[in-house]
Amino acid sequence: MLAFGIALKPDLVFNPPAGHHGRAPAQRDRSPHLFAHPSPACGVSHPGPDPNSTGRAGIQHMKRKIPIKQLLRWHLAQAEAAAPTAPRARRLLEAARPWWETQPEQFQALAEQLGRIHTAPDDAVTKPKASSVGYPVPVLMVHRAEKMETSARVIYLNVYDGRLRLRLRLDTVALKSSEGVEVTFVNSQLRPLFSTKAISLKTKEYRLDVELREPLARDWERLKAQDKMPFLLLFRSSETEV
């Protein structure tokens, strides 16, 4: 029997392969980093495996769960951003003020013209009969830039529970306005008392219903349609130029 001697270097270690036919079986790397972090050369990136994924068809995208309160706050913020800007407090106060305060010069000029209207000569003013309408009330009608002097007769007047219900007929044609008419009551000193909307009933008739303040409501409770009225009337259409 022959013997062979093999000399090995001391720094080399020979481990014979194990397995079938002397070859080591290939081991598959099942670590998730192969899918979660692919090579930059491929130009594709992925956030990584979904811990809730079933692994049935590769990697599924992670679904983000948003709380309902956070979603409602987001919708509210979007609605506020799309809403028009609220008017400033100064503009609201200006809109609430009567027109004679916001346009004092215009009111002064109209009131002076209203005070110069003579419905009848002084010696011809007599108390009307009980069956007829009352005294003529001076009226200045303003529509856009046009002005017309006329008078009105009170057909019905009642002051009860602090409210004035009045119906009157103009001596001339009514004010032509498609947007409505505002009637301003002016006293004998040409001071504004109040203003309200009037409803057109016929060609020359108007009706209004307005709440009166004290002491005006108490003082006017005794008024009748046949009495001489303690006021003058200024008709303004909504189309009147400022």
Q: Are strands 163-170 and 181-186 parallel, antiparallel or unpaired?
A: unpaired
pLDDT of residue 87: 66
pLDDT of 8 > 50? The answer is no
Q: Is the pLDDT of residue 125 over 50?
A: no
Assigned token pair, 100: 């004679």
Amino acid letter, residue 167? R
Output the pLDDT for position 6: 46
Is a pLDDT exceeding 60 seen at residue 224?
yes
Question: pTM (2 decimals)?
Answer: 0.60
**Local confidence band at 51 (pLDDT 50, 70, 90 cut-offs):** low
- Has residue 41 got a pLDDT over 70? no
The span from the CA of 190 to the CA of 111, in Å, is 6
Strands (E), 54-145: 136-143
Q: Which residue has the tokens 């022959």?
A: 2
How many Cβ atoms from other residues are within 10 Å of residue 189's Cβ? 7
Say how many CA atoms lie within 13 Å of 18 toward its Cβ: 1
Pairing of strands 205-211, 146-160: unpaired
Q: What is the mean pLDDT of residues 31-51?
A: 49
Q: Say what the pLDDT of residue 237 is.
A: 86
Percentages helix, strand, coil for the chain, rounded to the nearest 5? 25, 25, 50
Q: Who wins on pLDDT, 106 or 39? A: 106
Residue 216: what pLDDT? Answer: 94
Read off the pLDDT band of 153 (50, 70, 90).
very high
Lowest mean pLDDT of 33-47, 80-94, 138-152, name the range.
33-47
Residues in the chain: 242
pLDDT at 137 over 80: yes
How many CB atoms lie under 10 A from the CB of residue 55? 9
Residue 86, class by beta-carbon neighbours within 10 Å (0-12 exposed, 13-18 middle, 19+ buried)?
Answer: exposed
Cα separation, 115 vs 138, in Å, equals 8
Whole-number pLDDT of residue 48: 53
